[in-house]
Amino acid sequence: MLNRRWWDVAAIAVASVLVLFTLFDPPPYGPNDWGVWATAGAFLAFYFAYARAQLGNDRLAPHLVISIAFAVLVGVGASFEPSFAIVQVFVYPFIWTTAPSIRSALVSNVLIGVALAAGYAVHFGPSGIVTGLVSAAVSVGFSIALGLWITNIAVYGQERGRLLEELQAAQGQLAAMHRDAGVLEERARLAREIHDTIAQSLTGLVMVAQRTGTRLDGVDGADAASARSDLELMEQMAREALTEARGLVASLAPVEPGAGLADALARLATSFERETGVVVTVSASATGLSREHEVVLLRSAQEGLANVRKHARARHAAVTVESVDGEVVLTVSDDGVGPGAATPGASGFGLTGIRDRTALVGGSFAIEPGSAGGTVLRVGIPRADAAAGAEEEGSA
């Protein structure tokens, strides 16, 4: 309904028909003919100069200007020639299109109907009052009925569009949830496979090496010493591999933040401590986080502890989450050997994943040596309530 080209064509067509009606009469042309032509020209001039630009504008003031101007043009044109009433096929739909409300459209329809009746009365005199009133009543009634019907269809269409958008959004969320569920299921499967195969095999290898070493206790000679040395090396390598496997199980095991970030971090720390032997303390008191931000912090903590397992050679680690200056800051620290020259993307440190996760939510991260040794990894994410407040202030 807001395609201006179609409205332009309709306005020109209506004005052309009005002029053609007067040209059907043979010359000479009288004042009424000139009046119709002038009024038709004024109609086109007003439409292209002002009314056309108000299509899609739902403010009341422009609508009143358009209604009054069209009413005057209809009344003046009908006073010269009753067939000027044909302009109503353009005026009424245009009024409904630019009306900010149904009430304003109804008032404008009545105003144009009154102007049409007045034009008939001027042209025919007192005998034209009844004809003008009947014609105006019919045209206004038809316009109101058709306008209300089309308005209801438009409202129904808008409601269907809104429901369709909500459905598409829900489908997108459901697809994302399915993807997340698939990722979590795959992580859990890999963790189980590693635990049930590699870790179990390495545990068995350690036990066999210990048992073989026990049997060699009573054997003397150079060969026995060499064999014992090889067994000790096998046991050491198996234990190191077992520690790595258990660390992989701890890092891959999915941890859902459904019960809150603090509980999820506590479960992560317990699992990591059980699998690696590194004592992990957790302190999480920050609030104002969305679920998306909680997942980012949880995955960052998981990656940070994975780095502790792989590189720090630490005995203790600490995970804290606190609010600092409108941000929620996650800190993963340890008492290990320190980060060295670790940078995002460096081999052996999974910092690139943390960087990408935090960047997606407008956060930041840093890794640096701790004041008392070890490594400190910090991830900062804007608080959800602080971000919402900033948006409200900006819009105000």
What b/e readout covers 157-166, taking b as 16+ CB neighbours within 10 angstroms? eeeeeeeeee
Q: How many Å apart are CA 362 and CA 380, to the nearest integer?
A: 9
What pLDDT is recorded for position 2? 60
DSSP letters for 8-71: HHHHHHHHHHHHHHHHTSPSSP-HHHHHHHHHHHHHHHHHHHTGGGGTT---HHHHHHHHHHHH
Question: How far apart, in whole angstroms, are the C-alpha atoms of residue 189 and residue 53?
Answer: 63
Write out the DSSP string of 299-356. HHHHHHHHHIIIII--SEEEEEEEEETTEEEEEEEESSS--TT--TT-TT--HHHHHH
Q: Which tens digits make up the pLDDT trace of 61-105? A: 888 999 999 999 999 998 998 888 889 889 988 888 888 888 888
Question: What is the pLDDT, as a whole number, of residue 349?
Answer: 46
- Indicate whether 150 pLDDT > 90: no
Fold held by 258-396 = Heat Shock Protein 90 (3.30.565)
- What is the DSSP code (8-state) at residue 371? B
Q: How confident is the model at residue 321 (pLDDT cuts 50, 70, 90)?
A: very high
Q: pLDDT tens digits for 323-337?
A: 888 789 999 999 888
What is the pLDDT, as a whole number, of residue 394? 46
Query: What is the distance between the alpha carbons of residues 184 and 186, in angstroms, rounded to a whole number?
Result: 5
User: What digits encode the pLDDT tens for the residues 201-211?
Assistant: 777 777 777 77
Task: Note the pLDDT of residue 350.
Answer: 58
Which of 165-169, 256-260, 317-321 is the least confident region? 256-260
Which amino acid, residue 151? T
Q: pTM of the entire structure?
A: 0.46
Q: What is the pLDDT of residue 343?
A: 52
What's the pLDDT score for residue 223?
Answer: 65
pLDDT 10s digits, 285-308:
877 677 778 888 888 888 888 888
